[in-house]
Amino acid sequence: MDDAHDHADLDRHVRAALLVFGSLLVLTGFTVTAYFLHLPTRLAITLALLIAVVKGSLVAGWFMHLISEKRIIYWVLALTAALFFPLLLVPTFTALGKVALP
């Protein structure tokens, strides 16, 4: 890529980062507003985690450049996710009595 192309790419990246920044601020506002609405517990937990997942995806995708990363990074993260979710869910399901201990 030539320099002009590189700089155009970088400008686009910076503009996207600023847009993501604005979105993160708005979503933080939503999170706090949702808290003060005193929603039922299940709905409050679902909504708060949903907003957190969207915010986290924005940070990972644009600030950490995962939206356009090399394949090996995706493999590293796929392996991490494959280990992370059992780590999170197995103890939880055990505590809820949905997984029987031998």
Partner 1 sequence: MEIPYTVAVRPDTGLNNGKIGIWLFLASEVMLFGALFASYVMLRVGAESWPPGATYLSIPLAAFNTVVLISSSVTMVLAWASAVRRDFGRFRLFMGITILCGLVFLVVKYFEYTAKFHHGYFPSTNTFLAIYFTLTGLHGLHVVGGMAVNSWLWGPGARMWKVDPVHFTNRVENAGLFWHLVDLVWIFLFPVLYLL
Percent composition of the chain: helix, strand, coil (DSSP 3-state, to 5): 85, 0, 15
> Would you count residue 14 as binding partner 1 (CB under 8 A)?
yes
Q: Does 44 bind partner 1 (CB under 8 A)?
A: yes
Contact 54, 20 (CB under 8 A): no
- Which residues 49-68 are close enough to bind partner 1 by CB under 8 A? 49, 51-52, 55-56, 59-60, 63-64
Closest approach, Cβ 89 to partner 1, in A, equals 8
Under rule CB under 8 A, residue 96 binds partner 1: yes
Binding partner 1 by CB under 8 A: which of 35, 43, 67, 99?
35
Structure tokens at 20: 């993501």
Check binding of 21 to partner 1 (CB under 8 A).
yes
Neighbours of 34 (CB within 10 A): 16
**Residue nearer to partner 1 on the CB measure, 36 or 102:** 36
Q: Using alpha carbons only, how large is the chain's radius of gyration in Å?
A: 19
